[in-house]
Amino acid sequence: MKLEISDNEKQFLIQVVRDVIRVSIEGGEYSPSPFQSELFNRKYGLFVSLHKHGELRGCIGYVEGIKPLLQAVIDMAEAAAFRDPRFEPVTSDELEDLEIEISVLSPLQEIKSVDEIVIGEHGLVIERGFAKGLLLPQVATEYNWDRETFLEHICVKAGLPKDAWQDPKSKIYTFSAVVFSA
């Protein structure tokens, strides 16, 4: 992916996530500052991940670009903090301890062979029937997974048997991501 995001744009987007969460906790309505960038009007897949003391605290996103980047960041910040069904909503006591990570995704590319998967560079999406799962590129690196382990975990995430990646009915897609955090 040839996506370039400046340090100022990254810092602004991280601050947007923090501000959205804070304003939502306070019961207000978030309104972004006037910082402008052409990048913010383009549509990309995007995930906002929240960590607290190194543990996942929320992660939600869009696999494909359906909204302009800035609006997607605002929406997913709120969703990751308050609507991830795996976690209780974030509280004001946790704000200072949250590490925010944003992953801006390239378009999905269906692969013909699992040999095309590059650990540390590619995230994965698997689809079979109505089952679908996604793992970001950094997950395999964080857990030191090899290709087969990564494939098994994406199958389990989709609610499929861990060897479903070998089923010809399964479709596997890769994507890359620009990932930044604070």
Extents of the domains making up the chain: 7-105, 109-176
| Average of per-residue pLDDT across 61-73 | 95
Q: CA dist 158 to 5, 26, 102, Å?
A: 30, 35, 22
Helix (H) or strand (E) segment spanning residue 181 = strand 177-181
Tell whether the model's pLDDT for residue 9 goes beyond 90: yes
Report how far residue 88's alpha carbon sits from residue 94's, in angstroms, rounded to the nearest whole number.
Answer: 12
Q: What is the pLDDT of residue 35?
A: 77
How many residues make up the chain in this entry?
182
Predicted confidence band of residue 53 (pLDDT cuts 50, 70, 90) = very high
Domains 7-105 and 109-176 share a fold: no
Q: What is the pLDDT of residue 127?
A: 97
Q: What is the pLDDT of residue 24?
A: 96
Q: Write down the CATH superfamily of domain 7-105.
A: Hypothetical protein ph0010; domain 1 (3.30.700.20)
CA neighbor of 109 nearest in space, from 93, 121, 97:
121
Give residue-wise pLDDT tens across range 134-158. Answer: 999 999 999 999 999 999 999 999 9
Q: Does domain 109-176 have CATH number 3.30.70.60?
A: no
Report how far residue 16's alpha carbon sits from residue 77's, in angstroms, rounded to the nearest whole number.
Answer: 8
Q: What is the pLDDT of residue 1?
A: 52
Record the pTM: 0.91
State the chain's mean pLDDT as an integer: 95
Give residue-wise pLDDT tens across range 82-111. Answer: 999 999 999 999 999 999 999 999 999 999
Report how far residue 5's alpha carbon sits from residue 10's, in angstroms, rounded to the nearest whole number.
Answer: 7
What percentage of the chain exceeds 70 in pLDDT?
99
Give residue-wise pLDDT tens across range 20-40. Answer: 999 999 999 898 877 788 999
SS3 42: coil
